[in-house]
């Protein structure tokens, strides 16, 4: 079975690829909104996997519950990223290209910073303390969504 760290590395690569696919697509083309929707779906799925499964376990394992930890910072990033992506979604649907472009630039920067932060979180430690069965169960649940 695939390890958590290799799954997360691949998922980050997928998110970057989908984001670049959207950025490189052109407004007015049919595929523009499709690119956005595909990114949005995968991005929010990824965030929910981190916030609902990985971060609580990391906090518990690292004994940092209730203290500012790396997961607290990552969650703060998520909040900002979600605000931006939801504003983008609204404007993509309204064909408001000027605003889309503005938020897009900010999101690109924020996403890059966030992914760098998460590389430093070393998901590889999750491979050591999260049971394979528990992870497999989690992936199954997510696939059903
Ligand atoms: Fe992530
Ligand atoms: Fe994240």
Please write the tens of the pLDDT for every residue from 76-115. 999 999 999 999 999 999 999 999 999 999 999 999 999 9
Please write the tens of the pLDDT for every residue from 3-17. 999 999 999 999 999
| The pLDDT value given to residue 79 | 98
Q: Distance from the CA of 38 to the center of ligand 2, in angstroms?
A: 17
d(CA 76, CA 110) in angstroms, rounded, equals: 11
Q: Is the pLDDT of residue 65 over 60?
A: no
Q: Which of 109, 107, 105 is nearest to 85 (CA)?
A: 107
d(CA 119, CA 56) in angstroms, rounded, equals: 17
d(CA 114, CA 56) in angstroms, rounded, equals: 18
Q: Distance from the CA of 28 to the center of ligand 2, in angstroms?
A: 30
- Surrounding ion ligand 1 within 5 Å at CB are 118
């Amino acid at each position: 079975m695939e390890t958590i760290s290799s799954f997360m590395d691949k998922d980050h690569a997928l998110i970057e690829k989908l984001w670049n696919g959207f950025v490189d697509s052109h407004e007015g083309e049919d595929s523009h909104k499709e690119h956005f929707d595909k990114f949005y779906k995968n991005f929010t799925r990824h965030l929910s996997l981190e916030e609902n499964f990985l971060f609580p376990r990391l906090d518990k394992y690292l004994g940092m519950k209730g203290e500012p930890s790396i997961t607290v910072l990552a969650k703060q990033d998520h909040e900002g990223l979600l605000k931006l992506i939801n504003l983008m979604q609204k404007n993509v649907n309204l064909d408001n290209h000027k605003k889309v472009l503005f938020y897009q630039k900010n999101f690109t920067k924020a996403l890059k910073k966030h992914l760098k932060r998460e590389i430093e979180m070393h998901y590889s430690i999750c491979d050591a303390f999260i049971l394979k069965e528990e992870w497999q169960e989690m992936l199954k649940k997510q696939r059903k969504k």
